[in-house]
Structure 1
Amino acid sequence: MRKDVAVGLDIGTGGARALAMDLSGAVVAGGRADLPPEAVFVDGPRVEQEPRAWTTAAQAALRELTDKLRNEYAIIALSIDATSGTFLLADENNQPLTRGLMYNDLRAAEEAPEAAEALHDVLGPYGITIAGSFALPKIMHLARTQAETFARCRRIVHQTDWIAGMLCGRYDITDISTALKTGADPGKLAWPAAISGRLGISSDLLPQIVLPGMVIGEVTAEAAKLTGLPKRTPVVSGCTDGTAGCLASGAKAAGDLNVTLGTTLVFKAVAERPLLDPAGAVYNHRHPAGGYLPGAASSTGGEWVTQYFANANLDELGDQADGLLPTGRLAYPLVKKGERFPFACPTAKGFGMEEIDDPVSRFAAGCEGTAFVERMSIEGFAGLGLSIGDTVYATGGGTAGRTWLRIRSAVNRRVYAVPEQPECAAGATVLAATPYFGDCGKAIAAMVRIGRRVEPEPALADAYDREYARFVDELGKRGYR
């Protein structure tokens, strides 16, 4: 009897990554394909990629995966995640009229305020403000600056939907996390009337919206030949890369929190209802299970590591720093001017790092300062009405070092759980298995394996309570909060 596996496909900035996992979360096979340099086009604020290169990379990654799967495995479904806000215009035959306009394309700065005003009443309750990087103002820009091309457009296709269309032939359906930056109403799973009524973008061009984790089609005979996937394999609605990363973390129930520590701290919590933030720092995606993913991003994170320790052995530094805790040094390791969360202060500047000469002490103090910002952020969620649970599901480069996790666990008095497979493709795999389990939460519980758990040390936590109070007081003295 063949063993069931689900397949996730991640379409990232640099290429495609396919992953097959069994229904207990064990990785069975993988595949990868990079985009060629000639598929990427950058011209000032314009950042584009060739959609057919996405197709080629996706097919190659899937072909590598299916070649590795032996006959004892049966693929039950596939799902896709891709970059948020990336899209193209397609004609009546689902052929590209434009290159893919990427999530970081900023050509539509002039259209963004108009779009934000038109959709404020609809999106404001979810903490969403249309920005220049969003898809919607760029669609407006194309309609106004490339009128002849736009007149030939019959469908606006997001990056996730483009790959799904290649696999199952349906280019007319999208998921709500992917549609968010095109102006979709996350509560109603619908396109606001203002998009057509005030902004002039016909609703006929926009896809149907569903939650992630729904069966939307089956692999066609042509796609089966190109990828090695079995014909009629169910294709499940996907999500953005950010949402996929949260699913891969293990966060699944109301009050769960995923914190990704990379260049910045990025927070995604699970909630039954939207979390309303008067300051506008928290925005709300929909959760595939039907609730919400209130999220926010700090300006503080791990960027200081690159600034001060670009060529250092971080494992060695961490081991040495472990014996210095707590350091008693106050450091706010913000690299660039301005903080956005857990407090909004455009004039905020980092402090304390330059005054520490010893590199080991500086490294330890930077880890502590980042953990203090993380604690303030968690308290910020609580202040808005969402009580965070006893476990933080930690992802990102900041999970690699034992010392930093030890600091974060003690500062926040929480268990830090690090998944074995934190990559976005693993989150897409969870979505692919959601119809099998009947619920996204059940799929996460079954398939996300926690590789490490770090428990808070009571004595260190007590010491950090005092240091945290000093940190908050110093921020107040400087007028940052």
Structure 2
Amino acid sequence: MVAQGTGDGWLGIDLGTQSVRALVVGADGSVLGAGAASLTGRRAGVRHEQDPDRWWEAVCAASRTALAATRGARIGGLAVCGTSGTVLLTDGTGRPLTPALMYDDGRAAAQGARARAAGLVVQDTWALPKVLWLTDAYGRGRVTHQPDVIVTRLTGTPPPADSSHALKTGYDVEHATWPAAALGALGLARDDFPRVVRPGTLLGEVGASAAGATGIPAGTPVVAGMTDGCAAQLASGALRPGAWNSVLGTTLVLKGASRSPVRDPTGVVYNHRAPDGTWLPGGASSVGAGALTARFPDADPALMDERAAAHEPSGAVAYPLLSPGERFPFRAPNATALLLGEPAGDADVWAALLQGVALTERLCLDYLHHLGAPLDGPLTFTGGAARSPYWNQLRADVLGRPARIPEQTEPALGMAVLAAHATSPDPTATLPGTADRMVRVRTFLEPRPERTARFAEPYTRLLDALAGRGWLPAPVAAHARARLHTDTTP
């Protein structure tokens, strides 16, 4: 039952790579309205940019569609998530001065090396190296993350950043501070970095102009969001220690819950701070479903899945990177996509890509186990790829562990959950409790041991190939081999 004064539903907005999604969700998890609008970007080699103005146009279209379906439902609040590591520079009013460098733009390798030399643990595709690249190319500006562009248009004022998006810009979430000395050593002005607040913080209200453009009622509370990976974790309900969510969309993101940070001196695994002060460790790979659309742009996924079922295992072993460079389960800026062996036609290539993502997912869990992360809770699958029943079962088989799939697998649901929690009038409400009420699990998967055994040899081949190229550290490969004949729980 909706608490009095909070509305009939809450709006979650997800700024994805290929589209903006908007969901209006009720207190029991029912979807009252949904909308989507496509996005395009500019890719060329390691370059990946988008036009920030297009984000607003897509938000307006997606929100109006979602709200039209609700037939006048009261909206209790909204939150916005974006792709982790996407950044741009704006002026003091929030007007974009540069294109947005997307999460996997790889042009800032030299700047990443400079940041690490200054003592910061960052990866080349993180936002901070891109801030340096943008400053070198365009001059100074206000450091702005993807959702901040939308919140500025909604409320009329540039907002503070949420700590989730600020993490990859160098923000120290454990001590709640920007590393002023290191930023100064890099020639960056501290004043160009925003104030930071915890996700769920009230940022303002939707103004009249934005209400006219989006259909969102004026006065609707706008709360600070999180990255898309964290939003998907909220949508999965994986918020109690030991629970993990695997988000498979264009790329692969694993996020878990822990009472304390998971320490990784290489920076491959990093820790977001949950709205309630607990920790959300995880990592983001460049492997994912984007490799399927890149290789087979006009394919019918359901038909290809059906044909791929005859190739378990595939005649080839794939490491299906979407773009050069890998971030998780190892850091290798020079890594490239692999296809080892001779696949027997397109169906076998499709099978190799599906299986390659699943094998990478297993390696991610093995790496987390290597670091001592808690893995004894439930595993949930979300993201666009969770719409494929065949791939879901294949992943459970390769991992050798049970998994569950919520009815809604989208980050936009996670933002609706966050908005509902942040605007609740109940001071005893908890974020996991809100998620338990709003996240509906539709499918439970059990691994088939005989299928799991089939993928031991391809997994070994992949480990050997990654280690042989110097990308995967030898101790990590050895740890993964030692766990080969167990499941991916402790």
1:160 aligns with one of 138, 147, 156: 147
Counterparts of 1:340 and 1:46 in 2: how far apart (Å)? Answer: 16
Structure 1 counterpart of 2:28, one-letter code: S
2:27 aligns with one of 18, 23, 26: 23
The answer as to 2:401 corresponding to 1:414 is: yes
CA separation of 1:412/1:109 partners in 2, compared to 1, >3 Å: closer, same or farther?
closer
Post-superposition shift, 1:431? 1.6
- Say which SS state the counterpart of residue 223 (structure 1) adopts: helix
Post-superposition shift, 1:394? 0.9
Counterparts of 2:17 and 2:295 in 1: how far apart (Å)? Answer: 27
2:128 aligns with one of 136, 141, 145: 136
> Partner residue of 1:443?
434
Deviations along 1:353-374, one digit per CA (max 9) or x if unpaired, are 51x5487777667655654443
CA separation of 1:452/1:55 partners in 2, compared to 1, >3 Å: closer, same or farther?
same
**Higher alpha-carbon deviation: 210-219 or 97-106:** 97-106
Post-superposition shift, 1:393? 0.8
- Say which SS state the counterpart of residue 242 (structure 1) adopts: helix
> Partner residue of 1:291?
278
Which is higher, the Rg of structure 1 or of structure 2? 1
Q: Do the aligned residues in 2 keep the contact of 1:338 with 1:348 (CA within 8 Å)?
A: yes
Post-superposition shift, 1:176? 0.9
> Partner residue of 1:5?
9
> Partner residue of 2:374?
387
Structure 1 counterpart of 2:445, one-letter code: V
Deviations along 1:261-284, one digit per CA (max 9) or x if unpaired, are 346543222222221235543222
Counterparts of 2:115 and 2:10 in 1: how far apart (Å)? Answer: 39
Counterparts of 1:405 and 1:47 in 2: how far apart (Å)? Answer: 29
**Higher alpha-carbon deviation: 11-20 or 22-31:** 11-20
> Partner residue of 1:452?
443
Q: How does 1:393-404 map to 2 (within 5 A)?
A: 393-396=380-383, 398-404=385-391
**Alignment length (residue pairs):** 456
Tell me how large the CA RMSD over aligned residues is: 3.7
Structure 1 counterpart of 2:188, one-letter code: I
Post-superposition shift, 1:382? 1.9
Structure 2 counterpart of 1:164, one-letter code: V
Q: How does 1:306-345 map to 2 (within 5 A)?
A: 314-316=301-303, 318-319=305-306, 332-335=317-320, 341-342=328-329
Structure 2 counterpart of 1:434, one-letter code: H
Structure 2 counterpart of 1:18, one-letter code: A
Counterparts of 1:139 and 1:368 in 2: how far apart (Å)? Answer: 36
Post-superposition shift, 1:406? 2.8
The answer as to 2:111 corresponding to 1:111 is: yes
CA separation of 1:202/1:381 partners in 2, compared to 1, >3 Å: closer, same or farther?
same
Q: Do the aligned residues in 2 keep the contact of 1:20 with 1:65 (CA within 8 Å)?
A: yes
> Partner residue of 1:102?
101
CA separation of 1:211/1:324 partners in 2, compared to 1, >3 Å: closer, same or farther?
same
Q: Do the aligned residues in 1 keep the contact of 2:289 with 2:385 (CA within 8 Å)?
A: yes
Post-superposition shift, 1:235? 0.9
Q: Do the aligned residues in 2 keep the contact of 1:299 with 1:334 (CA within 8 Å)?
A: no
Counterparts of 1:130 and 1:70 in 2: how far apart (Å)? Answer: 45
Q: Do the aligned residues in 1 keep the contact of 2:82 with 2:226 (CA within 8 Å)?
A: yes
CA separation of 1:99/1:50 partners in 2, compared to 1, >3 Å: closer, same or farther?
farther
> Partner residue of 1:84?
84
Q: Do the aligned residues in 2 keep the contact of 1:342 with 1:376 (CA within 8 Å)?
A: yes
Q: Do the aligned residues in 2 keep the contact of 1:7 with 1:21 (CA within 8 Å)?
A: yes
**Higher alpha-carbon deviation: 279-288 or 298-307:** 298-307
CA separation of 1:375/1:171 partners in 2, compared to 1, >3 Å: closer, same or farther?
same
- Say which SS state the counterpart of residue 290 (structure 1) adopts: coil
Q: Do the aligned residues in 2 keep the contact of 1:264 with 1:302 (CA within 8 Å)?
A: yes
Counterparts of 1:372 and 1:471 in 2: how far apart (Å)? Answer: 8
Counterparts of 1:310 and 1:56 in 2: how far apart (Å)? Answer: 25
- Say which SS state the counterpart of residue 217 (structure 2) adopts: coil
Post-superposition shift, 1:295? 2.0
TM-score, normalized by length of structure 1? 0.80
Counterparts of 1:464 and 1:119 in 2: how far apart (Å)? Answer: 45
Counterparts of 1:119 and 1:29 in 2: how far apart (Å)? Answer: 47
Q: Do the aligned residues in 1 keep the contact of 2:238 with 2:244 (CA within 8 Å)?
A: yes
- Say which SS state the counterpart of residue 9 (structure 2) adopts: strand
Q: How does 1:273-292 map to 2 (within 5 A)?
A: 273-292=260-279
Post-superposition shift, 1:416? 1.7
Post-superposition shift, 1:447? 1.2
TM-score, normalized by length of structure 2? 0.78
Identical positions, percent: 36
Q: How does 1:413-432 map to 2 (within 5 A)?
A: 413-432=400-419
Counterparts of 2:184 and 2:210 in 1: how far apart (Å)? Answer: 38
Post-superposition shift, 1:28? 0.6
